[in-house]
Structure 1
């Protein structure tokens, strides 16, 4: 079931993020990953609208939104390709006329998912803190 997260979910959300981010972002420096991990816990999750995919009181994935932008979409690696990410994006899509997201260019897992969902590249830029290229994607037809 998809539900709004609560404070008690933070540990499980962080576990989903840790496992998924490690798989999707092996190209990122460990110091940068640690900084983002802290920001996720202290800033991003508390400062966004986050929904979790909960199955039997176990969080298998989550999506965090800031307006119409997907700030994060992560699913436990052993639950990839089971439709959880799609269900989370479908759920969020009901509240917005279009969605946008930024993904590291080297994040093959994320880019493949968003392409399959119908997102299109609208811009590319260099993300200075990580020194990695990022693509901005949208479901809006331009």
Structure 2
């Protein structure tokens, strides 16, 4: 697996589509609180976010296909998703370690309805420091605010 930081000007429509497909495949088994209509509504927003996020790191398999990605703004991890067939294979760990150790990210939000992700982040040294009843777009999907704890 290879990881590559993709600059804004190098994010082609083809890459954004492929990375958005990783997002969609990843959320289907983990975000069970989302209805199909929610996913339909989120799809263009995710593509826009992938194009606009300051730092986008993409993990590619040996065939050059995206299998995971990470988006960071300042010290905030805005997105981290992995292809479900690679859950538990270390892709998320590598991306998260890159975000914290290389990019200086220390904060993230996780959907309260995604306990697997919360457990992963806690295992990686993050702790819940707050909660919101709604997500960043005002939808009724509670978020847990997490911060990396000093080692």
TM-score, normalising length from structure 1? 0.90
Residues 1:107 and 2:114 aligned together: yes
Give the 5 Å matches for 1:1-142: 1-5=2-6, 6-7=11-12, 8-42=14-48, 44-48=49-53, 49-56=55-62, 57-127=64-134, 129-141=138-150
Q: Report SS of the residue matched to 2:113.
A: coil
Measured in 1, the distance between the counterparts of 2:35 and 2:61 equals 32
TM-score normalized by structure 2?
Answer: 0.85
CA contact 1:29–1:130 (8 Å) conserved in 2: no
Q: Distance in 2 between matches of 1:46 and 1:71?
A: 13
- How far, CA to CA, are the matches of 1:125 and 1:30 in structure 2? 23
RMSD: 1.6
Deviation at 1:60, TM superposition (A): 0.9
Distance apart, 1:98 and its partner CA: 4.6
Q: Judge conservation of contact 1:98–1:140 (CA < 8 Å) in 2.
A: no
1-10 vs 63-72, greater mean Cα deviation:
1-10
Q: Which runs of 5+ in 1 are unaligned?
A: none
SS in 1 for 2:85: helix
> What displacement does 1:95 show?
3.3
